[in-house]
Amino acid sequence: MRLSWRGVRVCPHCFRSISRAQIAYVCVSCVGSPTGSAVCGTCGRTLRPRCAACGHHLPEGYLRAPGRLVALVGPAGSGKSTYIAVLVHELMYRLGAELEAALLPCDDDTMAHYHERYERHLYEEQHIVPKTVENDGGRPLVHRLVRVRRGRFGRAREQALTLVFLDTAGDDFTSRDRMEAELRYLAAADAVVVLIDPQDLPGAPLRGRGGVPGRSGEVLTRVLDHLSAGRKVTVPVAVALTKADLLWPHLPANSSLHRTRRPGPFFDDDDRAAVHTELQALLRRWQEHRLDARLRRFCTDYQLFALSMLGTAPRQDGGLGVGGVVRPHRVEDPLMWLLHRFGALDRERA
Ligand SMILES: Nc1nc2c(ncn2[C@@H]2O[C@H](COP(=O)(O)OP(=O)(O)OP(=O)(O)O)[C@@H](O)[C@H]2O)c(=O)[nH]1
Ligand SMILES: [Mg+2]
Ligand SMILES: [Zn+2]
Ligand SMILES: [Zn+2]
């Protein structure tokens, strides 16, 4: 495994650093105690590793090869829950095969939680994902995206990206614990995806649709503050305008934001550059150049994205528009860029 852990290993649930001594081996089926070997002294089953600090199961694959940790942040209503719902669905049912990668849930109940909290609403009830409340936040969804690449001489090399989605309830931190967990989350991240609702940008041609001017700027500043601690942020930062469908009618027909990426297990450099440059120009036109200026000042490596999870605005009653289907557009772009940054996805060869 080539990808190395940046600094310390952290628990993917509480983001506290873990060493061998802080891993507790417990039996999943009874309260039996370890016998010093890998099996339960009472029932003889294989013991599973857990984080001594929070008690969550530590996936064995993750312990062997943690991969890179990608964190997700964004203000209330920016689309965090919908993004998680759609991205995971796309990776499982479409994109995984296209990227020759597998998305593996990393925890006992990740699949059940994903279905209950996200998938069910969008894909069965054809309804938006409910607003996140304190109680269902705080429980990270941990997946590993594993790609096997054939190196020279046909040697297989496994590369893993650990996607830890901590779906916070908006941006109000009502408790110190949650605040501290977010700090640890960002400190442990090898990359960050920041979601911004274009309706929160007062200069964008979408006024009067219920955005909160300045909110994205505040969140971005807080995140950059946490990440940088006075220095430049060196981890890749992907800043994505969600709900790009709201922007489409205001863009020229030849806009790169309308296009879709060419399918295939490669990173399209030209497309990436075109979208980033166009978004920089749009931010300037919307008098939002401060956002880009702040990123340039604090980050050594950032990229701008515009994506749509649903492909269209939902109806007033929360039902999905256009036939009730989810039509994502470019949701995978930030991930493709990060995979490329981490050496797990090549540029297309001419
Ligand atoms: N136009 C459009 N609207 C969207 C899209 N995705 C989500 N929305 C709308 O944005 C709202 C907020 O999305 P959420 O995913 O709940 O946002 P969140 O960041 O999780 O919000 P909190 O849980 O309140 O922090 C949804 O209820 C939808 O009404 C999209 O792709 N296009
Ligand atoms: Mg939410
Ligand atoms: Zn047992
Ligand atoms: Zn833990």
Q: What is the pLDDT of residues 69-115, one digit of tens each?
A: 888 888 888 999 999 999 999 999 999 999 989 998 877 678 888 99
Of 43, 64, 85, at which residue does a domain stop? 64
Residue at 105 is within a domain: yes
CA of 185 to the centre of ligand 2 (A): 17
- Sole residue written with tokens 């990060």: 338
**Same-domain check for residues 60 and 116:** no
State the Cα–Cα distance between residues 7 and 17, nearest whole angstrom.
Answer: 10
**Same-domain check for residues 7 and 144:** no
State the Cα–Cα distance between residues 146 and 107, nearest whole angstrom.
Answer: 15
**Same-domain check for residues 219 and 132:** yes
Candidate of 73, 125, 128 to mutate for ligand 1, largest count of ligand atoms within 8 Å of Cβ: 128
**Same-domain check for residues 221 and 87:** yes
Asked if pLDDT for residue 4 goes beyond 70, the answer is no
H/E segment holding residue 209: none
For residues 11-37, give the mean pLDDT.
79
- Take residue 265 and report the two structure tokens written for it: 């297990």
CB contact at 8 A, 239 and 224:
no
Residue at 3 is within a domain: yes
Asked if pLDDT for residue 22 goes beyond 70, the answer is yes
CA of 119 to the centre of ligand 2 (A): 13
Ligand 1 atom, smallest distance to 76 CA: 25
**Same-domain check for residues 118 and 255:** yes
Ligand 1 atom, smallest distance to 197 CA: 10
- Take residue 264 and report the two structure tokens written for it: 């295939």
Residue at 248 is within a domain: yes
**Same-domain check for residues 268 and 147:** yes
Of 48, 64, 80, at which residue does a domain stop? 64
Residue at 346 is within a domain: no
Question: By mean pLDDT, which of 47-56, 134-143, 235-244, 280-289 is the weakest?
Answer: 134-143
Q: Which ligand is nearest to the CA of 314?
A: 1
CB contact at 8 A, 198 and 313:
no
Q: What is the DSSP letter of 324?
A: G
* Domain that residue 285 falls in: 67-341
CB contact at 8 A, 243 and 313:
yes
Q: What is the pLDDT of residue 202?
A: 80
Residue at 347 is within a domain: no
Q: Which ligand is nearest to the CA of 83?
A: 1
pTM assigned to the model = 0.89
Backbone angles phi, psi at 48, to 5 degrees: -115, 140
Q: Say how many domains are in the chain.
A: 2
Question: Minimal CA–CA distance to 179: which of 220, 213, 215, 134?
Answer: 134
> Which residue's C-alpha comes closest to atom 27 of ligand 1?
128
Q: What is the pLDDT of residue 167?
A: 80
Of 49, 64, 79, at which residue does a domain stop? 64
Asked if pLDDT for residue 171 goes beyond 70, the answer is no
Which CATH number belongs to the domain containing residue 174 in this structure? 3.40.50.300
**Same-domain check for residues 60 and 97:** no
For 296, the 3-state DSSP assignment is helix
> Which residue's C-alpha comes closest to atom 32 of ligand 1?
243
AA letter at 174: T
CA dihedral 288, 215, 239, 237 (to 10 degrees): 110
**Same-domain check for residues 311 and 336:** yes
**Same-domain check for residues 241 and 199:** yes
**Same-domain check for residues 164 and 73:** yes
For residues 57-75, give the mean pLDDT.
80
Residue at 314 is within a domain: yes
- Sole residue written with tokens 């013991």: 47
Q: Which residue has the higher pLDDT, 96 or 148?
A: 96
- Take residue 148 and report the two structure tokens written for it: 């096997």
Question: Minimal CA–CA distance to 345: which of 257, 267, 279?
Answer: 267
State the Cα–Cα distance between residues 238 and 338, nearest whole angstrom.
Answer: 8
- The sheet with strand 156-165 has its strands ordered as 101-105, 141-150, 156-165, 68-73, 191-196, 237-241, 302-306
192-210, pLDDT tens digit by residue? 999 999 988 888 877 556 6
**Same-domain check for residues 85 and 154:** yes
**Same-domain check for residues 58 and 99:** no
CA of 59 to the centre of ligand 3 (A): 18
Residue at 349 is within a domain: no
Residue at 300 is within a domain: yes
% of the chain surpassing 70 pLDDT: 88
Ligand 1 atom, smallest distance to 169 CA: 25
Measured from CB, residues less than 6 Å from any atom of ligand 1 are 74, 76-82, 128-129, 131-132, 169-170, 243, 245-246, 308-310, 313-314
